[in-house]
Structure 1
Amino acid sequence: MSRLKNLSHGVQALALVITVARACPLVAQAPSSVSQQSSGPVITAAGPSFVVQAPTFIAPSRMEMKALFEIDAGGGDTLKVNEQLVTMARFFNIHVRNGVAESRLKAAAVFHGAGWTALLSDSAFAARFGGTLNPSRKLVQELLAHGAQLVLCGQTAGARSISRSELLPGVKVSTSAMMAMLALQNDGYRYIPW
């Protein structure tokens, strides 16, 4: 008798699961036609993203998206592109790939700590790192070409003896990372903490 009761409870539980699954088919299912892209359509040097079919949360069609990134790491491996910059590239690629006009996207990054190495010209990078060329140069140049503001902390520049002639063209220098972060946020940029 107890086996029959247990079986009955099991059948009822299974029936409940099936009923809920039928009522809410999109809750537990990933989009079926998602494919990862290696880069592009805006920034081709980095920034893989997915197309999301029929998203259920979307931004207002005229909303300007102003993203602020803090690049304070990634300089330890002189053979790799700065991963924090890859996230910034993804900001452009994700949204344009999913139908947002590039004109609605604004991005800025403040560099301090170990992030400064990404901003060096190839010759400056090679002089500081044993002949290696800057692996982030192409990505930095693409971001600048698409209107991104890239700002180096002047305190980091002073501590690392970085001259402006060592920086890639288009890179700005602020008094401090703190000032740049505040100024950009006051200008409507929203901090993306990853």
Structure 2
Amino acid sequence: MMRPIRFPVRFLKATKQLSLVFALSAMGVITAQAAGEAMGRARAGAVTDSAGHVRIPIQVKKDLKIVYQVSDDKLKGESGRALVYAKKLLDTYNANDVPDEEIDLHLVFHGDAIKALVNDSTRKRLKAEGAAGNPNKSLIKELNKRGVSIELCESTMEQKEVKSTDLVDGVATVRGAFPRIINLQHLGYAYIKFE
């Protein structure tokens, strides 16, 4: 009987791709040479400065598919931080010669994150953090213009007694956040849980 292979926690916390490469190598599924080649591809185009710091550039610049799971309404500055970081992600790609048209970004909101997407009176009723008005309206509008799909779970809406007329402009609804995220993952979207 084979004994299970146990990997140290630090090993398991490495990036998923490299962890998989290492695990397959350790189990003898792929050779150490193949593992080394895979790691080399992950560092392709890396530049080392005079202090020995390695900077790995953005490698994938076309057909990027990303889904964020957003479950809170915490603010960063005056806007919802999930929305702020979504904008920052787009800006980072743009600064690295990746236009918005190459990025298919979905933000799937559920739970307390609903507060980020509702009108002023509903936001007040839900006791949202910050000002009485919704500080996210202009950022939602900007992200929509840049092609970002902002989606809200209908189950959360039912639980919080929020109607579609309570939502700010630019928000689509999905039957369930988790089925939507699972669907997008099956379609090849990179998953980011926003916490």
- Structure 1 and Structure 2 fold alike (TM over 0.5): yes
**DSSP-derived class of the 2:79 partner:** coil
Instruction: Note if 1:162 corresponds to 2:183.
Output: no
Cα deviation 1:63-105 (Å, max 9, x = unaligned): 2111111110125x6x941112211111111110221122111
Query: How far off is 1:127 after superposition?
Result: 5.6
Alignment of 1:102-181 (within 5 A): 102-126=100-124, 128-129=126-127, 132-181=132-181
Name stretches of at least 5 consecutive residues in structure 1 with no aligned partner: 1-22, 30-54
Give SS of 1:74's match.
Answer: coil
Q: Deviations over 1:39-60 (max 9, x none)?
A: xxxxxxxxxxxxxxxx643324
Amino acid at match of 1:71: V
Offset from partner CA, 1:149-168 (integer Å, 9 cap, x none) = 11111111011001000112
2:84 maps to which of 80, 83, 86:
86
Q: Contact conserved, 2:117 with 2:171, CA < 8 A, in 1?
A: yes
SS in 1 for 2:173: strand
TM-score normalised over the length of structure 2:
0.64
CA 1:60 to 1:157, structure 2 compared with 1: closer, same or farther past 3 Å?
closer
Equivalent AA in structure 2 for residue 66 of structure 1? K
Q: How does 1:1-194 map to 2 (within 5 A)?
A: 25-28=50-53, 56-61=56-61, 63-75=62-74, 80-126=78-124, 128-129=126-127, 132-194=132-194
Contact 1:152 1:171 in 2 (8 A): yes
CA shift for structure 1 position 26: 4.9
Larger radius of gyration: 1
On the 8 A contact 1:66/1:188 being kept in 2, the answer is yes
Aligned residues: 144
Structure 2: distance between partners of 1:144 and 1:57: 27
The CA deviation string for residues 103-144 of structure 1, in whole angstroms up to 9 with x for no partner, is 111110110111111111335435655981101111111111
Give the TM-score taking structure 1 as reference length: 0.65
* CA–CA distance in structure 1, aligned partners of residues 109 and 89 of structure 2: 17
* 1:122 and 1:137 in contact (8 A); partners too: no
Cα–Cα, structure 1 residues 127 and 179, in superposed 2: closer, same or farther, change >3 Å? same
2:185 and 2:191 in contact (8 A); partners too: yes
Aligned mates of 2:141, 2:56 — CA distance in 1: 34
Matching residue of 1:16: none
Q: For the residues of structure 2 that align with 1:57 and 1:128, how far apart are their CA atoms? A: 42
2-structure distance, mates of 1:67, 1:174: 17
Residues 132 and 60 of structure 1: CA distance in aligned 2, closer, same or farther (over 3 Å): closer
Gaps of 5+ in 2: 1-47
RMSD: 2.6
